[in-house]
Chains A and B, each alone.
Chain A
Amino acid sequence: MSVDNNTKGKIIAAQGNLMTVRFNGDVRQNELVYVKTEGISLKGEVIEINGDTAKVQVFEPTRGIKYGDEVVFDRELLSVELGPGLLKSVYDGLQNPLEDIAKEAGYFLPRGMYLSPLDKEVKWKFTPIAKPGDSVERASYLGSVPEAVIEHKIMVPFNFPGKGTIKEIKPAGEYTVLDEIAKIEDETGKVHSVTMTQKWPAKFPIRFGERLFPDKPLYTACRIIDGPFPVAKGGTFCTPGPFGAGKTVLQHQISKNAHAQVVVIVACGERAGEVVEVLREFPKLDDPQTGKKLMDRTTIICNTSSMPVAARESSIYVGTTIAEYYRQMGIDTLLLADSTSRWAQALREMSGRLEEIPGEEAFPAYLSSRIAEFYERAGVVLNKNGDAGSLTIGGSVSPAGGNFEEPVTQSTLAVVGCFLGLSRSRSDARRFPAIDPLISWSKYLDRFRDPKVESSGKRIDTIKMAQKNLVEGDEIGKKMSVVGEEGISMEDIITYLKGEFYDAVYLQQNAFDKVDTATDANRQQEQLDIVEMVLRKKYNFENRDAARKYFLNLTDKFIQWNYTAREVAEYKEQKVQILEMVKG
């Protein structure tokens, strides 16, 4: 809390977590405040100013607040503390470290306890990159420290004014985040002391450099995504679906397998039990890319459904800011938010208390612009130091009644580059992942056509051919359920069976099988090559039963092959058998 602040306020009205505060002096919109009550200070945020009163939303339970309670204005906006030590951390929606809180307070989350997000005592091994006399600006590299799985770049603070000159920089050595590592003189001659940590307001994007077009795929090891509905590094995708369709399992799969260097998981208003699985398992699971543990590349922001609703909104921004910070170092980062609907509901609750005119389903009218702003924070950025980093954003959506016509899903679809729609009918038919290949789309697929690499175009054409077959097969399937198999020509039956085959062996993937759960790019290509042969082949069968039997057999063999690890001897044998069946 700033000392030079003369603005004072007191509570004059309260309802739920919305306070009306009368103040003297100046107040900033979205400024942080602390309400002093019952011997503790509760964090809040200014959301409306009118004359000498301001409306404040308090992030914590407000029981015990009374008329006349003192309010302290902080001058700062809701900010995120950045620096080495973010990875492996578990924070709440206001960046409180949950494990430290548990050490202090035990089982329950007390109100008004705010602990430092970064460990101030641990020493980091700093190596300077810049030298005295260098001309720098905000986000220029000063040095780096190894953090978990990455080289964490220490940068000139993002709020540094204009150009500067390095006066002093510390030699290689071990320092805490609070130790001064450089002195930089700005254009007015003022000398700034720089440490390894800085604060940045969560609702402002960190994006210094040139935005590049996202045209490289982000491998997820999930075939239905990497194949027909790929995601670009620096792109956006959403996974809407009814309850029980497997949104969270899919998000966990992506968070484990995606080819990103840093993953930020925001558990926003969902079940605590699901976060616990991540919390308990990630420190034990190996990261196939680095050989270290998955937790080493992960930061978790955890504001589960029973935690304060007001902090749900901030949890999304806190997570995004951390991910952008790593992108600024030239790192590929991935942000997964589960679920953006709960965040939208938090906006709706506050909008209702402010008595704003409601939009559709009582969501505020600014819902779609907020959603757009959030997804726009994704992107590829080439920083001034010459490194390109990316931030990919994936949000799950929980539409009421599983109906995609509702406002959150619709506003999201308008701004994302890839739509992975989970459907009840797929999950009921146990076709997992339950991403419906008939409704999903990706705008990135054609972007990956690299004119210099012939195979990239061929792969895309194959996938499109397979998708076309799937759509035709589905139409035939529908017809068949009306007129019966007898009314369908042999040719159509074969198209139908080919579509089912492609669905069963390629689009579906068993998350509980230790081999099939993640398929790398090479193996995906190997599988797709055989699928292509089958789909392109002109088959002649004696009768329908023979056709059915053939495809059933082929599908079974293929799935067994999918379950076989590539190192095992049977892998080749099984492949040969499948090829014989296809060619024979």
Chain B
Amino acid sequence: MLKTYNKIEKIKGSIAQVKAENVTLGELAHVRLKDGRSTLAEVISFNEDDVNLQIYQGTKGVSTGDQIKFLGRPMQVAMGDSLLGRVFNGSGDPIDNGPEIMENKIDIGGPSFNPSKRIIAKRMVKTNIPMIDMFNTLVISQKIPIFSVAGEPYNDLLARIASQTDADVIVLGGMGLKYDDYEFFRKYFSESGALEKTTMFIHTASDPVVECILVPDMTLAVAEQFAIQNKNVLVLLTDMTAFADAQKEISISMEMVPSNRGYPGSLYSDLASRYEKAVDIDGSGSITIIAVTTMPGNDVTHPVPDNTGYITEGQFYLNGGVINPFGSLSRLKQNVMGKATREDHGDLANAMIRLYADAKKARDRESMGFRLSEWDKKLIKYEELFEERIMSLEVNLDIIEQLDLGWEILAGCFDKNETGLKNEWINKFGKWDK
């Protein structure tokens, strides 16, 4: 029997208080507003029969006489192949004019994975982007953020990864997105054909802030279900800083003591419990997470990127429209480089980065007006080719093609013995005339 209540006692921030009986922590309620709208709400605390509800759509326009019906279950999300190709908001309602999906509802924010059932990650995720595959290889079950600043093409990068990857299913969680960004993703996916294997949960900047917090949980609950069904799932989250800001806004309105720049003391745990959903399930599917974290003021010590860095397994720095080869790091790359890929992979990637670093120094000498040596000139030629043919995010090549391209560029710029690479690799893979 679902009970209905008609008297809201208190309204503050996104919280409404009612007197109700037999209500459980985390239970969902349905609020029907006098103006015809309706919204979901969640029980976040109670004191005897005073129950505090967090209203998902916000309390704007909520009346003390609005009708509240407790549903006897926590927040759930639908599950199944019918989700593919669909777009939902943070409350799980369709926003693509498609039908509502009622089947196979599962609870969100489920229990955590038993560490003793985890396995060491060793399968590669192919993105066909050289700056990732070749130099900072992604590994299945990895969680990695793209550290960037507003204005950089991080969403373009996510969309490109989604379209080029070999993942079985893609789940995109958008938080605080501009409407244009949402449209961009939808268009890009439908043009590239990725839409058929994609589910999107979208919170736009104008949507209620509570829904922003729900997006990662909805996204990851769906991803987890696909992973259990033997699917390799790629989860894309953008932008996790918006998620953290939403946490901040709500915790401050609930009068919780802030810890660092207004963020709640639980920021690390809030982020970690989401990122840690990344997993490679022994004998089944997997979840890999790529998340955008915009850094306010390009400051990596800001609490959001700082806490993220302690949680994730490396990071990509996206600035100037390219993935920066120097700060970026995939902590798991050595698990696959040369093992899941070709044997020369690790050494070639290291040599190319070392030469690129030398080339940057040659560029500095050039810009300071020093006379350039022959070696400097070679390096500068290499730098140009490297940036044009490898660093560009437009490149779409298989990893083997990427490695061959690397050898081709080296052969075009340097003599065999100038690269510092093992003779074994040079003889086997080098592109110099024999």
Contacts and interface: CB of A to CB of B under 8 A. Distances in A.
Interface in A299-338: 302, 304-307, 309
Contacts of A133: none
Contact of A275 (B24, B49, B115, B310): B115
A98 B276 contact: no
A271 B276 contact: yes
B25 interface: yes
B114 A66 contact: no
Contact of A64 (B24, B115, B268): B24
A370 to B, nearest CB: 16
A269 B272 contact: yes
A306 B115 CA distance: 10
B56 to A, nearest CB: 17
Which of A20, A108, A361, A398 has the most B CB atoms < 10 Å from its CB? A108
Interface residues of A, number: 59
B160 interface: no
Contact of B120 (A13, A111, A271, A276): A276
A60 to B, nearest CB: 9
B265 A14 contact: no
Which of A14, A275, A363, A398 has the most B CB atoms < 10 Å from its CB? A14
A62 B27 CA distance: 11
Contacts of B266: 309, 345, 349
Contacts of A438: none
A271 B311 CA distance: 6
A64 B25 contact: yes
A112 B255 CA distance: 31
Contact of B48 (A13, A15, A16, A403): A13
Nearest to B272: A305
A286 to B, nearest CB: 19
A567 to B, nearest CB: 25
A37 B265 CA distance: 28
Contact of A276 (B49, B115, B268): B115
Interface stretch (A99-107, A183-191, A554-562): A99-107
Contacts of B114: 98, 101-102, 105-109
Q: Is the interface of A mostly helix, strand, loop or mixed?
A: mixed
Given A99-B116, A272-B118, A276-B119, A305 B313 contact: no
Instruction: For chain B, give the interface size range.
Output: 35 or more
A195 B121 CA distance: 43
Contact of A98 (B115, B256, B277): B115
Contacts of A20: 47
A65 B310 contact: no
Interface string A345-377: 100110010010010011100000000000000
Contacts of B49: 67
Given A66-B22, A280-B119, A403-B301, A273 B313 contact: yes
A22 to B, nearest CB: 10
A107 B117 contact: yes
A279 interface: yes
Interface string B254-275: 0011111000111011001100
A170 B166 CA distance: 64
B25 to A, nearest CB: 5
B301 A402 contact: yes
A352 B265 contact: yes
Contact of A273 (B26, B121, B265, B307): B121
Interface string A34-73: 0001000000000000000000000001111111000000
Interface of B: 21-27, 44-49, 74, 110-121, 141, 228, 256-260, 264-266, 268-269, 272-273, 276-277, 281, 301, 303, 306-307, 309-311, 313-314, 329, 332
Given A66-B23, A110-B111, A276-B120, 10 more contacts: A63-B74, A108-B111, A273-B118, A273-B313, A279-B116, A279-B118, A305-B276, A348-B265, A349-B266, A400-B303
Interface of A: 12-16, 20, 37, 61-67, 90, 98-99, 101-102, 105-111, 242-244, 269, 271-273, 275-277, 279-280, 302, 304-307, 309, 342, 345, 348-349, 352, 355, 358, 361-363, 398, 400-403
26 contacts: A15-B44, A16-B45, A62-B26, A63-B24, A63-B25, A64-B24, A106-B114, A108-B111, A242-B309, A244-B309, A272-B115, A272-B276, A273-B118, A273-B141, A275-B115, A276-B120, A279-B118, A305-B272, A306-B113, A309-B269, A349-B265, A349-B269, A361-B259, A362-B257, A400-B307, A401-B306
